[in-house]
């Protein structure tokens, strides 16, 4: 069955994890200087940002990437990541299906707080990028659209995680035993340009979240960073609206390349309006990410080779 549009609905037993908004300082993300917004102010900010999304998406509604509409292109690469400190149960139920779409109910339950973010598939053997703050709790559940056209819920392994408190990127590489339905390609650093038109694919911050898109442009490229040693990445600012649940999602340009992984939003919330909004993303060097993936693949091959030798010795 060929998908032209994919929609995922979710029922969450508790509210989404709300991450603080963090500004840039000295070319990298700084620690929060103020207390997080109250729940009431966060709800107001989210409502303002959601109301602004359609304006930035007008030019993307009919734009195509290859043979697919841009928004469909992103929907077919959709994946969501849940995290919790307690045991977590995620149930998937297909509630409707037509020749053009499938609708799922995603019920995520835990006794503790539940975090919700996005994940970006970058290889056909199950490597995904997300934000570090979307994967800092010990229990993880990845819900991804797989090659069979169905949603699958899996427990991913963390391959590499940036430590934001040490000045490292808010970025994590995870791996799960799944073949994604489609994958993204990371852009090279030479393809990062101020003024580039972009759009995002995220998760609406509602009790029944749906795929949430927003559009805008790149407004600032930070310097190339090399922390930790061997890493290569850049902070990036843009105007596309981000709300809780969008963290870990892709920042996509007109050819379908991923420029960055969305992490936070920075703004001033006045009594009457929002000012100085900035979406904040991490742009990783594709060669660096590929090196992390190759090292992990090599460790896996070595593990299975040794495990096979032990089984053969035991059989004798």
pLDDT interval class at 273 (50, 70, 90):
confident
Asked if residue 18 belongs to a domain, the reply is: no
pLDDT interval class at 269 (50, 70, 90):
confident
Residues 6+ apart with CB under 8 A from 206: none
* Average pLDDT score over residue span 282-305: 87
Asked if residue 308 belongs to a domain, the reply is: no
Give me the domain span that covers residue 274.
39-296
- Specify the pLDDT at position 1: 31
Radius of gyration of the chain (CA): 19
Asked if residue 20 belongs to a domain, the reply is: no
Domain count, the chain: 1
More confident residue, 3 or 198: 198
Asked if residue 30 belongs to a domain, the reply is: no
Residue 197 parent element (H or E) = strand 197-203
pLDDT tens string 171-194: 999 999 999 999 999 999 888 999
Asked if residue 134 belongs to a domain, the reply is: yes
What CATH number did the domain enclosing 56 receive? Answer: 2.40.10.120
Say if residue 145 is exposed, middle or buried (CB neighbours under 10 Å; 0-12, 13-18, 19+). buried
Asked if residue 195 belongs to a domain, the reply is: yes
Asked if residue 225 belongs to a domain, the reply is: yes
Asked if residue 24 belongs to a domain, the reply is: no
């Amino acid at each position: 069955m060929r998908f032209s549009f994919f929609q995922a609905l979710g029922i969450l037993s508790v509210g989404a994890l709300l991450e603080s908004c963090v500004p840039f300082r000295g070319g990298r993300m700084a620690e929060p200087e103020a207390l997080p917004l109250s729940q009431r102010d966060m709800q107001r900010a989210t409502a303002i940002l959601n109301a602004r999304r359609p304006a930035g998406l007008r030019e993307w509604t009919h734009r195509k990437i290859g043979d697919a509409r841009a928004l469909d292109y992103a929907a077919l690469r959709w994946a969501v990541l849940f995290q919790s400190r307690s045991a977590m149960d995620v149930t998937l139920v297909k509630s409707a299906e037509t020749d053009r779409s499938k609708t799922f109910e995603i019920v995520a339950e835990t006794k503790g707080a539940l975090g919700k973010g996005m994940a970006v598939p970058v290889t056909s053997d199950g490597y995904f990028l997300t934000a570090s703050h979307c994967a800092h709790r010990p229990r993880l559940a990845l819900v991804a659209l797989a090659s069979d056209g169905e949603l699958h819920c899996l427990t991913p392994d963390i391959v590499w995680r940036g430590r934001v408190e040490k000045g490292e990127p808010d970025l994590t590489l995870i791996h799960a035993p799944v073949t994604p339905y489609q994958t993204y390609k990371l852009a090279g650093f030479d393809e990062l340009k101020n003024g580039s038109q972009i759009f995002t694919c995220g998760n609406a911050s509602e009790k029944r979240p749906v795929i949430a898109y927003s559009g805008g442009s790149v407004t600032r490229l930070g310097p190339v960073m090399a922390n930790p040693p061997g890493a290569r990445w850049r902070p990036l600012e843009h105007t596309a609206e981000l709300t809780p649940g969008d963290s870990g999602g892709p920042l996509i340009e007109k050819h379908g390349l991923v420029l960055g992984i969305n992490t936070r939003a920075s703004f001033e919330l006045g009594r009457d309006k929002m000012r100085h909004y900035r979406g904040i993303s991490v742009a990783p060097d594709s060669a660096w990410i590929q090196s992390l993936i190759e090292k992990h693949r090599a460790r896996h091959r070595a593990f299975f080779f040794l495990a096979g030798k032990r089984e053969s010795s035991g059989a004798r």
